Structure 1
Amino acid sequence: MNNKVLAQVALAIFTAFGLTVSSCKKDAVPLTNTPTDTVKNIATKPDTTGTLIGNAGAAFPNMGFAVLYGTMSSNPTYLAAVKREANYVTFGNELKNASIVKNDGSFDYTTADALLAICTNNGLNVFGHTLCWYSQQNAVYLNGLISALNKPVTGAPKPANLLSYGDFEAGAGSTFTGWTNLAGGTATGSFSAVADDNDGGSRAMQVTVNTPGANAYDIQSIGTAFSVTAGKTYQVSASIKSSGTGTVRMVMQNTGYQQTDLKTNPGWATYTWNVTINETSPILRFNFPDAGVYVIDNVTVVDPATGTYVAPTKAQTAAVIDTALKTFITTTVKRYKGKIKAWDVVNEPMSDGNGALRDSANYTIPAANTGNQFLWAHYLGRAFALKAFQYAKATDASALLFINEYNLEYNFKLDSLIGYVKELKAKGAQIDGIGTQMHINLQTTQASIDNEFVKLAATGLMVRVSELDVTMNSSKTASFSPTSAQLAAQAAMYKYVVQSYLKNVPKAQRFGITVWGLTDNESWLNIPSAPDYPLLFNQNLSKKAAYYGFLEALKGI
């Protein structure tokens, strides 16, 4: 298994359990040669005076770390260390599309707001990350927008409904054949039949939620299992009206669990959920977490591939995706205007291998990531980044706007990105700076580090080291434990990055340096099958040799 696959597996595992800062970098191709510098006195007599931000001020204005809400909200010692060593933080996941956008297209900023409050209350500025990326997107919602554009051919057979009893006609009184209705826990409510239906029949199911329960499933309606092909996308639809604004949670659950929340309103409306079902015999359930009266009818589960549709035109698809991009960027930037003053507007636009723009012609979304990867360029072409910068600029003209990329230690990627930046700026995009992620390793050459800083500085834009870490376990060995020599080499690498940044980037163009995490255990590179120690602090928050290498470079030692 190559580095890219290993990293993708690691990301999936750790994202699922919320254990790591998710990187914007998925593979780091090993370079040749080891740095020749040694770190003065670090092994035995490190210079321990001062802090990183305390010594960075004369060199560059912003010293940062990537952070997560879970750690910042629950570990005062960790928070104190971040506050002591930095003045800037980047949210590892909380501002990404998939963390905010729900399957029905609604936005939830609860966690991002909470983390922002913690940071600002402790004097930490926040760098916004990220507004337009191909990964960690809610692709379920975005692909659903495209699917909804498919129009049935008039007179053609409709796809078969795989769900039995979705019309609620069978049964008597308040019972409905094929459905088990429950009201328990701390909730109070009832189920009844009403004549006001939406499918030409005589009955619909009315759910009255007097008191919501502690759990959404305290009041629920459970359907009958049906057969599907696991891993295939199906379209679930239901006609729903509610007495006021409310929430109906659709759940697909048997041995697995998937859900989406529908925000309902008075009057009949059809709600659709495009879901990739992960088991062969799922059961559809409706949960009711909000008080109110809900009437449900005409529930269907269909395989869209079996219908006859007129596909949307390329222009129609581009228009709906453009609107989704604009809505996310403008809503997010407006919400944090004046609070977040710098953004990664476009993240990782260039593909690996040849440095071309990342689209469907040079990148295939892995089957395991169909729900969280979305190629904006496939639908909007080369203009996708121009649009992103325009939407951000129009929403907050005072914010600093960056483009961010990895593997700029390689000329093919570096030159391609710089060329794309020039193209975008020529078309009117405001791009204030370029972020180089710098997920590097012990074999990265000093020449490649110097080269990227020289070329980035030559653009005249601000240069930011945006996600720095130095992996030691490049071979992904399960039993890896760093030696003293490797720890010293890592310290030397950190020291050289800082030295090269200060040497090759003019002071006026230095935005600063952000290390991608504080402690080794939270790093995206540290996974159970391949432990790694790429950051400046150990799990117990003790400073490593790498910390002192960084510090000495700031001091000019």
Structure 2
Amino acid sequence: MKRFNNIALIGLVSSIAIISCKKYESLEYQVGKPLTIANQEQIDAYNPLKSYLDSVKYPKFKFGAAISLSEYVSKGVMYRLVNSNFNDITAGYEMKHGSVVRNDGTLNLTNVNNLLQTASKAKISVFGHALVWHSGQNATYLNKLIAPIIIPGVSQPTWDLETGANFETDAATNYEYNANAVASFTAAGQGAGGTGRALKITNTSVRTQDYDVQLFVKLPNAVVAGEKYELVMDVKADNAASYPTQAHVTPGAYKHWDFFGTISATTTWAKYTKQITVTADMATSKTIAFNLGKTATSFYFDNITVKKYNEKGSGNAGYSYFFTNPTAANYWTAQVVHSLSPLQNGKEYTIKFAAKGSVAGNIRSELQSTSDYSNNAFGTIALTTAWKEYEFKTTTTKADRNNFVISFGDYVGKVNIDNVKLTLTDGTANLIPTIDFESGVGAWGGYGNGSTRGLSAQGEGYGGAQDQIIEKTADQKKTLIANAMKSWISAMVDTTKKYVKAWDVVNEPMDDGRPYELKTGVGRVLPADEFFWQDYLGKDYAVDAFKLARQYGNASDVHFINDYNLEYSIDKCKGLIQYVQYIESKGAKVDGIGTQMHISIDADKAKIEEMFRLLAATGKLIKVSELDMGLVNKKKTPEATVEDLTKQMELYKFVIDKYFEIIPANQRYGITIWSPLDSPVSSFWRAGEPIGLWTEGFVRKPAFMGVSEALKGK
């Protein structure tokens, strides 16, 4: 065996030697690179985009990118990509009103200043986007400015004797006493709790009748039968004593024996609380009489409060039913429901209830059939932030209506309802037995998009006396919103003017359906971040905005008006041009027009050319302000074909070529790529679509080559 192994080894070595001595001959066949690799190498061979611009010929031309502030200031891959390929950046959101303005109207510019300083060091200019827009606003703050004044529905005011400057003044307003009473104020620090003063009434001897010595507390309004009131006050006496109360129409004009019960006072301060329901015998009274004549001592009173019982602020307002919605969606995505026995067909029903919202807004109510979810609508409930009573009617058109439904999926906030009563219009029986929720929520339930619902806390119910709601006039609202615009623009522009030399002053003013008119929020339920300045300031809102930007910025700043779909709707393009003419007729200056161009690869090329010709004819600077490009029917990234990406490349090149061909050289301000990367599926903007020049993984796409070819020699 050993010998066999040696022979085999010698043969193997000989074979290797013979092969090693043979001359090398190359094979004729060669393996080529895969086409996809070759194509990618061709794209990757291009230089950074901005290198193709003739900086001598166009020294001021802005080739920009929209960025996320956090991605840019972190100086990661996106920072390096943008700095290599672009000379200008636009913050997609972080310079808008909603990002900067706090709920008290002050500005938080920390993030903006970080962006400006980072860009300045990188020698990248920053385009200001956008000063006045309807979206991306701190609507909470702006709506609070114009909200109605609400006077709580408490029938009687609160009196606290700490406010008394002297006895004569108090006696002339809220307090009186009869001739046998000796009245004064205690020294400071002798009131309830060892602070302030208290009212001191002395009875010098025991009287025949307790009413021979009386203190009167006068109410500004007469009480009404059925109303509920609460008396709260601090009392004590030098000697323990009890004394009754009477109802008087005016001081001394007796009406009823017992009003707020009999009070027992000791030698230390104690709080007395009494709740009553006004009887017919008490009605029309406006005075509480304290009868002090049976004990010879000094009586002390402090912190006297009379309020409606079951009213907000009293701590005894009872319960209500609440439901909340965290985010806006379709109105039917969050609902509360009370199941019913099937209602009669062809009958008119009436719903009555009280409701309020944490913010103003609209919810809806209806009678519904669970069999097919058809309904008869009661209508829209326009909530205010104060309790308000509502009444609606509807007639049933099916015999199986068996749910009362309130829909609130498009309302963001908390809603309280109380005192719900559903009846036949010509009947009295309530078909919703919970009524006031004092005994729980009963058959109420529901579902929704993260919504919650349930029984409110004690004291959050509706007491029956409505708050007084004083709406601001149109002129008052106009003044408040004009001041808010001035405060915002002046602070933002002045603070950033060292770095920011150009602004979208007004963004997206024109209506899509009526392209020669301004957008409006009237008649719509608005998302939480929308506020239409023009609905309060009128057509001149843009005039004011441009004048303010000019007043508080640099004299040489460039000011744009910007809108979308100008290449899709030529009428909208013409409407925007007409509005620019109107703005300038009112004395403001508009330097440029921005066209957003969020397009798809099937865009109408003839309309793109027509748009550029119309814009060029204005003589204004023209900017392609937000260029990005999707596929047909919003096709997602994994579905994109080679043909799709080739068409995208060609259209990117077409748009840039036509911009340089049609827009005169002295009007070419620049082009901004709105989405350098393809959009992630989690994005709010064209989610999951391959709209960029790079993939999400920072790989150049054919679109990068199309833009490069268009920029060459420009």
Bucket of the pairwise TM-score, normalised by the shorter protein? 0.5 to 0.7
Equivalent residue, structure 1, for 2:211: none
Question: Match of 1:427, as an amino acid?
Answer: K
CA distance in 2, matches of 1:143, 1:159: 28
Q: Equivalences for 1:448-459 in 2 at 5 Å? A: 448-459=607-618
2:321 pairs with 1:324: no
Distance 1:316 1:498, change over 3 A: same
Equivalent residue, structure 2, for 1:487: 645
2:341 pairs with 1:345: no
CA drift of 1:398 comes to 2.4
Equivalent residue, structure 1, for 2:86: 86
Equivalent residue, structure 1, for 2:699: 542
CA distance in 2, matches of 1:125, 1:344: 14
CA distance in 1, matches of 2:155, 2:492: 38
2:50 pairs with 1:50: no
2:584 pairs with 1:444: no
CA distance in 1, matches of 2:496, 2:455: 40
CA contact (8 A) 1:67 1:90 kept: yes
2:589 pairs with 1:465: no
1:493-520 alpha-carbon deviations (Å, 9 max, x no partner): 1000100000000111111000012211
1:166-189 alpha-carbon deviations (Å, 9 max, x no partner): xxxxxxxxxxxxxxxxxxxxxxxx
Question: Aligned match of 1:157 in 153, 156, 175?
Answer: 153
Distance 1:375 1:151, change over 3 A: same
Q: Equivalences for 1:55-204 in 2 at 5 Å? A: 55-56=52-53, 57=55, 58=57, 61-74=61-74, 76-147=76-147, 149-150=148-149, 152=151, 157-158=153-154
1:254-303 alpha-carbon deviations (Å, 9 max, x no partner): xx999xxxxxxxxxxxxxxxxxx97446999xxxxxxxxxxxxxx99999
CA distance in 1, matches of 2:685, 2:559: 32
CA contact (8 A) 2:678 2:695 kept: yes
CA drift of 1:328 comes to 0.5
CA contact (8 A) 1:523 1:535 kept: no
Q: Equivalences for 1:39-438 in 2 at 5 Å? A: 45-46=42-43, 48-56=45-53, 57=55, 58=57, 61-74=61-74, 76-147=76-147, 149-150=148-149, 152=151, 157-158=153-154, 228-230=322-324, 232-234=357-359, 279-280=452-453, 306-360=466-520, 365-367=524-526, 369=527, 371-396=528-553, 397-409=555-567, 410-438=569-597
CA contact (8 A) 1:469 1:534 kept: yes
CA drift of 1:306 comes to 5.0
CA distance in 2, matches of 1:106, 1:117: 21
Residues matched between the structures, number:
402
CA distance in 1, matches of 2:593, 2:682: 22
1:82-101 alpha-carbon deviations (Å, 9 max, x no partner): 10111100001110111011
Equivalent residue, structure 2, for 1:207: none
CA distance in 2, matches of 1:459, 1:364: 34
Equivalent residue, structure 1, for 2:443: none
- SS of the residue 1:316 aligns to: helix
Distance 1:145 1:117, change over 3 A: same
Distance 1:195 1:143, change over 3 A: farther
Distance 1:159 1:107, change over 3 A: farther
- SS of the residue 1:341 aligns to: strand
Question: Match of 2:581, as an amino acid?
Answer: K
> What do you get for the CA RMSD once the two structures are aligned?
3.7
Question: Match of 1:112, as an amino acid?
Answer: V
CA distance in 2, matches of 1:466, 1:76: 25
CA contact (8 A) 1:97 1:137 kept: yes
Equivalent residue, structure 1, for 2:162: none
CA contact (8 A) 1:359 1:376 kept: no
Equivalent residue, structure 1, for 2:179: none
CA contact (8 A) 1:159 1:302 kept: no
CA drift of 1:229 comes to 4.3
CA drift of 1:77 comes to 2.1
CA distance in 1, matches of 2:663, 2:98: 34
- SS of the residue 1:497 aligns to: helix
- SS of the residue 1:430 aligns to: coil
CA distance in 1, matches of 2:65, 2:319: 48
CA drift of 1:523 comes to 9.0
CA distance in 1, matches of 2:194, 2:653: 72
Distance 1:109 1:458, change over 3 A: same
Higher RCO (C-alpha under 8 Å, 6+ residues apart): 1
CA distance in 1, matches of 2:79, 2:470: 55
Structure 1 unaligned segments of length 5 or more: list them.
1-40, 161-192, 203-223, 238-255, 259-276, 285-298
CA drift of 1:131 comes to 0.4
- SS of the residue 1:331 aligns to: helix
Larger Rg: 2
TM-score by length of 2: 0.51
2:511 pairs with 1:515: no
CA drift of 1:43 comes to 8.0
Stretch moving more, 482-491 or 393-402? 393-402
CA contact (8 A) 1:350 1:357 kept: yes
Identity within the alignment, %: 32
CA distance in 1, matches of 2:319, 2:676: 47
